Structures are given as C-alpha cells and as structure tokens.
Amino acid sequence: MLEFKVVTNGLSAEFGRTGGGVITAATRAGSNAFHGSLYGYIRSDKFNANSWTNTRNNVARGKEDIKQSGFTLGGPITKDRTFFFVNVERSKSLTPDNLIRTLPTLLQRAGDFSQTRTSAGQLITIYDPLTTRPNPAGGFIRDPFPGNVIPAGRIDPITKAILDHYPKPTNDNPTQNFVQERSRTSSVLPVVVRVDHTAGRHRLFGSFRQSNSEDSSPTVSAAFPDPGTNGSSSIRTISASRSRLPRTTGRMS
C-alpha cells in the first residue's frame, strides 16, 4: 500500500450509497529497479495476561495464536514503459471467543421461581394465567402460583423439549451463569497484482485483487447457533485507470 485516507464526514458524490466512514487506498507501483520486502507478525496467548471478564468468571486464559506473513515484489517488465507490483499475504489466527450467557437456573428449569428476584432483591411474582378473572374495580386480576412454583403438570411438553436443548448453568450467579471457553479460527489469503504502462503522454494502470478466506466458530448447542464453519469465500476486484500528462511548451526570449 502506497497511501491511504480515511474519510469520515462530508463524503463527496463518488462515495455515495454508504454511511459512516470510507477508507481509500492506493497500491504501490513498480519501477525500473527491482524492489521487494518480506514481513511477518506473530501473536500468542503465551505473552498475554488473562482478560478481566475471564478472571471475573473463573475462566482460564483463552487460546490465541495469530501468524501473518507476506512479501512484496515490484520491478520492470519493459524498462521505462511497463512495470509490475505483486503483494501476497497469508494470515492464520486462533482467537478467544468465549461464550457468556444467562440461562434458566436449575430451579427455574423445574418451574421453581421462589428465588428469582430483581436486582433490588424484590421477588418476581409468577401468576397463574388460568385464574384470570374480571376485577370488580375494573380490568382483570389473577392469582400467583403458590410459593411462586409452577406445578410440573402445568409445564408445557414443548417447553420441556426446548429446555433440553439449553445447556445447564456453569455457576450459581443469577445472570451470566453460563461461561464456556472456545476459540475462533480464521485464515485469509489476499493477493494484489498491479501493472503500470506508459505510452507517450498516456499512463495506464490496472490492478487485480483477490482475497480468499475461511472462518470457523464452534457451535455450543442448538440454543446458541453459531456460524460454524463458513467454508471458503473469495472476493475479487479489478480496476483500471488512464491519465494523460499535460503537453509542455517552451518559449525563448
């Protein structure tokens, strides 16, 4: 990349049909001399401290392994006329993607809401819909379940079947009571090729970009469906441009 610019406000017409910001980038061009580079980046959980959220929920430090490497090469095809530039990069990553959710407690799964309270400690009353009746003063009234417990025979079989797909809590907290460590894997292979050509006062260039990627996120249960293995995807972009240098004239006095 030769340069980039971030446009966040007052977009011109060429950047229409979008909201927020726009990032524009210009690729580097080749020259009469061969130039190239090699680069790499490594990140590992061995160098990381555990996150605040993991520490709070007694979860071990998540696995992380990020490796990026690539090269660039540019030079002449025909001296002073045609040049090329190539960039290939490969990125593979294993990053933490812990799942933290609030699930029905073991008592709630059995219909017992006697310990279900608000953050202020007030009992959340569960009312029996079959006791709904007109209120002489207006509206309707109904009675709570005795002890705030729904009888086992009143729980719908479909509800029981749905609950079977939910994992059980991993701690006794009223909220965020399910924590599971997991990791997300991703691999990306972007390729950029650019060719520049000069013909008199005309300058032409064309570029080809392709990015192949694959992502995988493990599914914990049917209650929390994740993308799973998204398979491979490929994005291709082809662009071309022509410019003309102004004619220069000289005058002798």
- The answer to whether residue 168 is domain-embedded is no
Are residue 48 and residue 110 in the same domain, yes or no? no
- pTM higher than 0.85, yes or no? no
Are residue 116 and residue 234 in the same domain, yes or no? no
Domain extent at residue 69: 29-99+178-243
Are residue 232 and residue 116 in the same domain, yes or no? no
Are residue 34 and residue 157 in the same domain, yes or no? no
- The answer to whether residue 7 is domain-embedded is no
Per-residue pLDDT band at 100 (split at 50, 70, 90):
confident
- The answer to whether residue 21 is domain-embedded is no
Are residue 93 and residue 113 in the same domain, yes or no? no
Q: Domain boundary at 118, 135, 163, which?
A: 163
Give the mean pLDDT of 120-141: 94
Are residue 94 and residue 34 in the same domain, yes or no? yes
- Candidate from 7-11, 14-18, 98-102 with smallest mean pLDDT: 14-18
Cβ-count burial 89-120 (b if 16+ within 10 Å, e if not): bbbebbebebbbbebbbeebbebbbeebeeee
Tell whether the model's pLDDT for residue 253 goes beyond 70.
no
- The answer to whether residue 52 is domain-embedded is yes
Report the length, in residues, of the chain.
253
- Candidate from 16-20, 88-92, 93-97, 175-179 with smallest mean pLDDT: 16-20
- The answer to whether residue 11 is domain-embedded is no
Read off the amino acid at residue 39: Y
Tell whether the model's pLDDT for residue 57 goes beyond 80.
no
Looking at the structure of the chain, the number of domains it has is: 2
